[in-house]
Structure 1
Amino acid sequence: MFPRGGFYKEHIHVLQSSNSIAFYFCTMSTALCKSSLRVNSVYCSFCRSEGIALHLKMAADTSVEILQKVLENEILQTTKVVEEHLDAEMQKLDQMDEDELERLKQRRLEALKKAKQQKQEWLSKGHGEYREIPSERDFFQEVKESKNVVCHFYRDTTFRCQIMDKHLTVLAKKHVETKFLKLNAEKSPFLCERLRIKVIPTLALIKDGKSQDYIVGFTDLGNTDDFTTETLEWRLGCADIINYSGNLMEPPFQNQKKFGTSFTKLEKKTIRGKKYDSDSDDD
């Protein structure tokens, strides 16, 4: 119960701790309570703790009912759209005669046959596996015969190059449409100078014989040694160097912060006095 002098302030304070619907109902109750006060009364007989609890419960029940109705309406609308789409497709198929169905079947078979031939052509050119090329001359030949190429410029003693190798091995098998190569940076000084390779590891992304993009170190991969294969796949998809089916607007490494992933501080170190640096802390 509330003292008469502090009735309105205390009542409103209790209501504000609840949600907006509870505030609305209890404000109405406040008006009723004020009208029920007698001249000689010290307390409001309506505003006992049981009464407040009852009004809050009514407000909470109302909120749940409203939310349930909104969700039910959304589900019904979504179901309706899906059913209409399926009905339209089924009606379209029902209206086709045998000749049209046969032509549709032939087009699909031709598309599958063409895709199979394309895959065989890629495999014959060295796609589907992550492999090392011995020299700069081999690099130019490999790039010339394939539209999409990912080349990892590495160094044997750089630990992060081994991390990159692990992920590229997986992606090479998954994305046969792209050729995945590795080349020792210390054995290809001319190419490193031409492509401006200054940090190890670096991935050069080549499309139609021209360098389109670079992945330098792990900065674009969440800046951590623990980045996932999916993160590297997303980054390659952003460069349009692979056929990426995910959402390019949502980098996978954004979710890593939720699980306490630590970010590695990078320190660049020179490699035998040359113009490119190592992105690894280990030498």
Structure 2
Amino acid sequence: MANQAVDIITKVLEQSAKLVEEQVDAQLSKLNEMDEDDFDRLKEKRLEALKKAQKQKQEFLSKGHGEYREIPSEKDFFGEVKESKKVVCHFYRNSTFRCKIIDKHLAILAKKYVETKFIKLNAEKAPFLTERLHIKVLPTLALLIDGKTKDYVVGFSDLGNTDEFPTEMLEWRLGCAEIINYSGNLMEPPTLTQKPGTKFTKVEKKSIRGRGYDSDSDSGDD
């Protein structure tokens, strides 16, 4: 019975190898049949695609993409969101140290994913938005596509519940929300390794203009 299973697996592998070989041969055959004019047309199409990609990148940069920026007020939020298809907005507070951790990672991702706009807004200056978007925990990332909020990253609960999470973890999480053109495997989040002795900071509660806000996600106590 075991030998029969091995034989079946061997045949499947041989068939798969043969199929791949046939596909490679077909591609090589096409290349061999191409004349100089075909190669010129191929180069021209490639050059045209590169020019189009460069033009689109310049359009993104002209709209404030490519860098992590702070916007001064909630009035500016609507204009920023309106002119860009994909937006990540970090609602923060200066006194919340975990917001500074998020800042560090978003500054890196903003340069890598130019197709998405990365901005931050002081929650204390945005009472209307925080009410409308039901933001009660800081930091919170609002992920918007075509002007509509598609998803939220609230605190660090989706990032391994640790202050030591790598940029790749947030990158993966944003990829899951399709807010960036993520090329990694969405089914496998980055491996999170926690240093020995790492402790979580105790959660505190403060208020913003009379409203109660959790300063961080409830990730544990010292």
2:215 equivalent to 1:278: yes
Which letter maps to 1:278? Answer: S
Confirm or deny: 8 A CA contact 2:115 2:180 kept in the other structure: yes
Confirm or deny: 8 A CA contact 2:88 2:118 kept in the other structure: yes
Instruction: Specify which structure has the bigger relative contact order, considering alpha-carbon pairs within 8 angstroms and separated by 6 or more residues.
Output: 2
- For residues 103-118 of structure 1, the aligned pairs below 5 Å read 103-118=41-56
Equivalent in the alignment of 2:3: none
Confirm or deny: 8 A CA contact 2:99 2:138 kept in the other structure: yes
Root mean square deviation, CA, Å: 3.0
In structure 2, C-alpha distance between the alignment counterparts of 1:247 and 1:200, rounded to whole Å: 28
Corresponding pairs, count: 214
In structure 2, C-alpha distance between the alignment counterparts of 1:243 and 1:176, rounded to whole Å: 10
For 1:231-257, what per-residue CA distance to the aligned partner results, in whole angstroms no more than 9, with x for missing partners? Answer: 0000000000000000000011xx325
Deviation, 1:105, is 1.9
- Partner SS, residue 88 of structure 2: strand
Unaligned runs of 5+ in 1: 1-66
Confirm or deny: 8 A CA contact 1:153 1:201 kept in the other structure: yes
- Partner SS, residue 151 of structure 2: strand
Confirm or deny: 8 A CA contact 1:151 1:204 kept in the other structure: yes
- Partner SS, residue 27 of structure 2: helix
- TM-score, length of structure 2 as denominator length: 0.84
Distance 1:89-1:258 versus aligned 2 partners, 3 A rule: farther
For 1:107-161, what per-residue CA distance to the aligned partner results, in whole angstroms no more than 9, with x for missing partners? Answer: 1111111000000000011100001000111110000000000000000010100
Confirm or deny: 8 A CA contact 1:213 1:239 kept in the other structure: yes
- For residues 1-283 of structure 1, the aligned pairs below 5 Å read 83-252=21-190, 255-256=191-192, 264=200, 267=203, 269-272=205-208, 273-279=210-216
Confirm or deny: 8 A CA contact 1:266 1:280 kept in the other structure: no
Structure number with the higher helix fraction is 1
Distance 1:280-1:112 versus aligned 2 partners, 3 A rule: same
Percent identity of equivalent pairs:
68
